[in-house]
Structure 1
Amino acid sequence: MAILVMFRHGQSVWNLENKFTGWVDVDLTDKGKKEAKEAGEKLKGMHFDYAYSSDLKRAQETLKIALNEAGISHVPTTYDKALNERMYGDLQGLNKADTAKKFGDEQVHIWRRSYDIAPPNGESLKDTAARVIPYFEKEIAPKLKDDKNIVIAAHGNSLRALIMFLEKMTPDEILNFEIKTGVPREYQLDKNLKVIKVKNL
């Protein structure tokens, strides 16, 4: 049986400022660093064979702080843009409230919460899943099937794609599924990656 733990990065500067972040490489806030440490507290006593993060520093820093806090060092770590946040295109850097005033609440809600409608020049959740899940199946799944324990630090939408895949959720179910910053979600998986048990730590 393999253990997979994944968590969303701690609060970023643009989370705090209520901006669409996407692929813009912004730092963690002090609160975000605290959330990363709290995630690490929950990982104490666990063993991981491999660690993964996105290509963005808010996820990488969260992972580093959490593993350090947990006393877990020397874990082979891979950073890959396949695990990046959803690309928000023309909305990146815009304040969410201002964007709603500009385009209308309904249109922004569609961009944010529909499964397959992307913002201008950006990705939908379906597009995000189309890069996250093949990467997971190629790079991470074989290790889990070999009973290796893995930890992933990533983003709200890249993690939604993985959770949808692992828990066999519908698009509607995953769009209404909230992922809080810095809260580890632990999966116990069998050889076929069937979920035996799942819980937030």
Structure 2
Amino acid sequence: MTLQSHARFITIEGGEGAGKSTVLAALREFLLARGFEVVSTREPGGTPLAEQIRSLLLDTHHEPPAVETELLLVFAARAQHVREVIVPALQRGAWVISDRFTDSSYAYQGAGRGLDAGFIADLERRVVGIEPGITLLLDIGVAHGRERARGRDLAPGASGPDRIEREHDHFFERVRDGFLARAQAEPRRFRIIDATQSAEAVAAQALSHLRALADT
């Protein structure tokens, strides 16, 4: 099965502390101001069932899942997300902006955990079937990003780092390398943004890429 690309499907990728939520909010506001319907969502998650799977994946209180279990749970949530939220929205002409999508599986479970990229690609073809028209990769060094993430986790009311966020720096270095390798392999789809800049500068760059897409 060939992946179907959707011009109005935007994904935002990056490591811990890259600022994906801020960028998503800026893109959403821009599109809403132009009168478009916008569905903003996240992975793992996006539907009630997928959010329950997210909780299982990130919980620190049960035994850690096997690497294959982690990947299959992510794709189970993604299958539900695609069928219940993403595809119906695209079919009615809405824009969809997702905080993470399949590229995160290649980066986290593939490059980070060492699972075969061919296995992930097979699941992508069989279970997902779609890819975004554009992917914004917010790139930031691991040390810088984790410092930002720690500040967020220590904020009042924060629940603390989840299971993935507790991984060691070497894991996140592999994840970053995985994202950059994906971007290098697919330059047509990816736009790399230096996420060490201010939040305003990062959002402005992301909006410039969106304007180019929305005006075509």
Determine if the TM-score, normalized by the shorter chain, exceeds 0.5.
Answer: no
Instruction: Report the TM-score range of the alignment, normalised by the length of the smaller protein.
Output: 0.3 to 0.5
TM-score scaled to structure 1, two decimals?
0.36
TM-score scaled to structure 2, two decimals?
0.34
Higher helix content, 1 or 2: 2
